[in-house]
């Protein structure tokens, strides 16, 4: 589904209605409430139309002012009935994806890639996490178990991503939990180096620590009491996306991000920075001329990476 520009939740940045109310006096809040009630009574015109009606005295004896209408928008958010009843599908711009060639010096110096790999658990949900030396491109994949076939498939997918971009994975660094797949990986021409018992690979340990900190920073401000597994998974994917979207301080290029190096794509403010993770939104649904709602409530998750949309969960 495509995210519509309307946000139906009466909060921004996870502030509550109470936080908004506290900005105003009791009288200002009550008048804002009256303004929203009036808007509903007279058929939910747009804010600008309602302001015109009031300022031109088209509703005689009306005590509502322009400022009351603006305060209502600030406190309660966009009129939910208008969003659900009036929203139309916005036309998406034609997407032009340019897979730019990598700078020659990157391919000359870093065509052979060394991966660090580990399994991360968040709320007992396992993810296979990888990051590459020098390039610092991170990946995260939800896995159902730790069986040999599952891990090999996950690693092969990461290796294929590098191969597609012209790199070659020459070595993988992991701990003892990957010992049982060492022979199969090395048969593919890749060295799988297993560190000593009770030791870990520094690169992946640092990356996982950073990733967990990012996930925790999202979770602590979400207005939810429970976190469904899908929501946790998307938090991880969201953090990986943004970690890959900016140049690493020890990376191979001071301007190109790991994502730009691996995919040829860069982020854009108007396409990838529309809403914060966890924001409650209204999304457009297919509809006819019936009285059914034209939108449905959903939670914004993360940019999809396809250059023109935000993925959501309803």
Predicted pLDDT at 290: 65
Place of tokens 């794509």: 265
Number of structural domains in the chain: 2
User: Do 247 and 197 lie in a common domain?
Assistant: yes
User: Do 142 and 208 lie in a common domain?
Assistant: yes
The CATH number linked to 205 is: 3.30.420.10
Give the dihedral of Cα atoms 173, 176, 182, 185; nearest 10 deg.
-40
Residue 72, burial from CB neighbour count under 10 angstroms (0-12, 13-18, 19+): buried
User: Do 111 and 82 lie in a common domain?
Assistant: no
**Domain end among 234, 261, 288:** 261
Closest C-alpha among 249, 244, 251 to residue 265: 244
User: Do 132 and 254 lie in a common domain?
Assistant: yes
> What would the pLDDT profile of 207-228 be if each residue is shown by its tens digit?
999 999 999 988 888 888 888 9
* Rounded (5°) CA angle 268-272-277: 150
> What would the pLDDT profile of 260-279 be if each residue is shown by its tens digit?
999 988 888 777 877 788 88
Domain contains 5: no
**Domain end among 236, 261, 286:** 261
> What would the pLDDT profile of 35-79 be if each residue is shown by its tens digit?
988 888 877 788 888 898 889 888 888 899 999 999 998 888 877
Domain contains 292: yes
User: Do 125 and 73 lie in a common domain?
Assistant: no
Predicted pLDDT at 94: 43
CA distance 163 to 185: 15
End-to-end CA distance of the chain: 10
Predicted pLDDT at 277: 84
Closest C-alpha among 162, 166, 170 to residue 102: 166
In the predicted model, residues of the chain with pLDDT beneath 50 are 1-14, 94-99, 308-314
Closest C-alpha among 174, 171, 182, 280 to residue 231: 280
Domain contains 73: yes
Predicted pLDDT at 122: 95
User: Do 90 and 111 lie in a common domain?
Assistant: no
pLDDT, averaged across the chain: 82
Q: Where are the beta strands (DSSP E) in 123-260?
A: 125-132, 138-142, 168-174, 191-194
> What residues make up the domain containing 194?
104-261
Place of tokens 């250059």: 307
**Domain end among 261, 282, 302:** 261
């Amino acid at each position: 589904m495509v995210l519509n520009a309307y946000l139906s939740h009466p909060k921004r940045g996870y502030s509550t209605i109470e936080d908004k109310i506290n900005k105003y006096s009791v009288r200002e809040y009550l008048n804002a409430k009256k303004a929203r009630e009036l808007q509903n009574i007279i058929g939910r015109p747009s804010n600008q139309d309602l302001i015109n009606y009031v300022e031109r005295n088209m509703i005689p004896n009306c005590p509502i002012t322009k400022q009351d209408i603006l305060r209502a928008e600030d406190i309660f958010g966009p009129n939910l009935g208008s969003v659900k009843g009036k929203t139309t599908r916005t036309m998406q711009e034609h997407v032009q994806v340019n897979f730019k060639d990598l700078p020659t010096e990157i391919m000359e110096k870093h065509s052979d890639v060394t991966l660090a790999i580990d399994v991360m658990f968040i709320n007992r949900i396992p993810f296979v996490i990888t990051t590459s030396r020098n390039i610092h491109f991170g990946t995260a994949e939800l896995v159902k178990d730790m069986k040999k076939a599952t891990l090999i498939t996950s690693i092969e997918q990461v290796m294929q991503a590098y191969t597609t971009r012209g790199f070659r994975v020459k070595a993988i660094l992991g701990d003892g939990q990957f010992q049982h797949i060492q022979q199969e990986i090395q048969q593919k021409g890749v060295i799988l180096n297993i560190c000593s018992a009770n030791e870990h690979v520094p690169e992946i340990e640092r990356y996982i620590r950073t990733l967990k900190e990012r996930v925790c920073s999202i979770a602590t401000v979400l207005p939810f009491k429970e976190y469904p597994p899908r929501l946790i998974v998307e938090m991880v994917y969201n953090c990986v996306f943004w970690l890959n979207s900016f140049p690493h301080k020890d990376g191979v290029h001071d301007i190109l991000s790991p994502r730009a190096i691996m995919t040829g794509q860069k982020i854009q403010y108007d396409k990838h920075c529309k809403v914060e993770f966890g924001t409650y939104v209204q999304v457009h649904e297919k509809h006819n001329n019936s009285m059914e709602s034209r939108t449905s409530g959903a939670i914004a998750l993360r940019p999809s990476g396809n250059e023109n949309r935000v993925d959501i969960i309803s």
